[in-house]
Structure 1
């Protein structure tokens, strides 16, 4: 079965996410306390991104619904998305998010996963210049771009994990934003990616780990596709010389989830969706694109029925489903 993004699917994803973008509880803070005055409710700390269980999930939930509303303006949920954006994505609320970043204890707040997603959100909003959403969020995007510019030269080694600290995944989003909004940052990301990953050869992946939600191997490949352009196919043939052989078996078998009420174990649904995104993204550079897309479809078939099984997955999985279907 081939899975595709159509209006009905878009509406289902948007409805799921509208159900939690402003849902306040439960909520998991990413916070280092500098003193008793730092204690406050999530809604006070984060005037926009206080729903969806945690800050980064709320950010990419907004990216998801705004992208769907733009791609499918006739879907019934689009009007509700835009009305909520008019209320939430405003300069006053964004100033509150900036005030949180100004605290001296927030240097590593949401680094780099949330940083990348915030830039992806602004990039999406900028495709609707007829509305004020992008202008409201731009100062926040510029603040995270500055953090990337400060951090990347100091990062001696990339983080090659399947969780929030994965360097390659965040830079996929950051690079796409930077090529439109900050060419100096784009140049820096491209240079660092080449230094970290350009000489990688004969990959022997061991994944997923038990609580991963990303394929570190495929995230690297997607980033290098974006960095290298026409020379990507040569790099990929060296990085994955036998993409359908024994060494990459673990990349082709969908992950199994034993308990979707356990937030960390439910991450593995994300592995399946992120692998579908990865395989689809690099398929045309592989020796057998149809086989790569078949692998992606198998991963989608494993994950798509479970987007709303439990709030531990519901608050974020639809974003990764959109990534995969829109690849």
Structure 2
């Protein structure tokens, strides 16, 4: 694979991310106003995650920084990352984030995308030698884990769009946290939801891809969810049924990188994220197949072409710069 997460790339991504995780404006809040007294600034609502244009992008910006710090603890941005975490990931500020979730209007806040990324951040922090940051975030992670426990038993149907509401992405990311914390009951709940929603899916046409503001491939993120949650003996027969013509580059739409025509448009800029997300899924799925599987070269080649299409454009405009590097890291490490 030509594209990998080098120390130089990690430093560059971290520098971009450090530039926006505390940048409060412009800001797109996900906030329900119950009265005029709740019209507050982003930093008043969210003591930690008030940067990066929106809450969830700020969360996965912190995840990127934690991931870079783990991979390159002596990297050029390591001192700045540690200083940021010491300022922001404190028990008092985490308590402020927890308090926000107690409001009646916050029940659906960031479901499931932000939930999943917060748990992914908690998992990343747990792998760092500095345990104070993970310990501080634990109460907030516990609240979001509980939200999955409360939501999944009443969620009869999946959401298959290519945006924030996609449930396969939520399950896949939350599973890393459940496994990392040894929460077998949460892991079982996630697996049961995946089985109920996706086990019967066959011969996915992917005919609706890409939609004009996708940053997930509904087909590939579903497959990646099942790869992550199921043992290989169950996943591989399911995958054979779900995308039975991959060796022939079908569905063809999954092999053609999306064309991004205006990177200053936040929705159109999502398509750079789609290219990165597809590359992540294609690489991870190829890794879940036997080494001699004839689909692997085709999938890995497609992943490289998707990376070629969007990696050079991560910081062209703030509409992409505030979040795309996180998906680049997912893809480069897959």
- Report the counterpart of residue 215 of structure 1 in structure 2: 217
- Report the counterpart of residue 264 of structure 2 in structure 1: 261
Within-5 A mapping of 1:51-130: 51-130=51-130
**Contact 1:47–1:97 (8 Å) recurs in 2:** yes
Partner Cα distance (1:273, 1:128) in 2: 26
**Contact 1:205–1:247 (8 Å) recurs in 2:** no
Of 181-190 and 142-151, the range deviating more from structure 2: 181-190
- Describe the superposition over 1:268-292 as per-residue Cα deviations: whole angstroms up to 9, x where unpaired: 0000000000100101325321221
- Report the counterpart of residue 199 of structure 2 in structure 1: 198
Residue 320 in structure 1 maps to residue 320 in structure 2: no
- Report the counterpart of residue 2 of structure 2 in structure 1: 2
Within-5 A mapping of 1:141-290: 141-181=141-181, 182-206=183-207, 207-231=209-233, 232-245=235-248, 247-284=250-287, 285=289, 287-290=294-297
SS in structure 2 of the partner of residue 256 of structure 1: coil
SS in structure 2 of the partner of residue 257 of structure 1: coil
Alpha-carbon shift at residue 129 of structure 1 (Å)? 4.6
Alpha-carbon shift at residue 247 of structure 1 (Å)? 4.0
In structure 1, list runs of 5 or more residues that go unmatched.
none
SS in structure 2 of the partner of residue 262 of structure 1: coil
Partner Cα distance (1:129, 1:120) in 2: 17
Alpha-carbon shift at residue 183 of structure 1 (Å)? 1.7
Of 134-143 and 277-286, the range deviating more from structure 2: 277-286
In structure 2, list runs of 5 or more residues that go unmatched.
none
- What's the TM-score, normalizing by structure 2? 0.96
Partner Cα distance (1:221, 1:76) in 2: 36
| Count of aligned residue pairs for this structure pair | 327
- Report the counterpart of residue 23 of structure 2 in structure 1: 23
- What's the TM-score, normalizing by structure 1? 0.98
- Describe the superposition over 1:192-241 as per-residue Cα deviations: whole angstroms up to 9, x where unpaired: 10111111111110201001111111111111011212221111111111
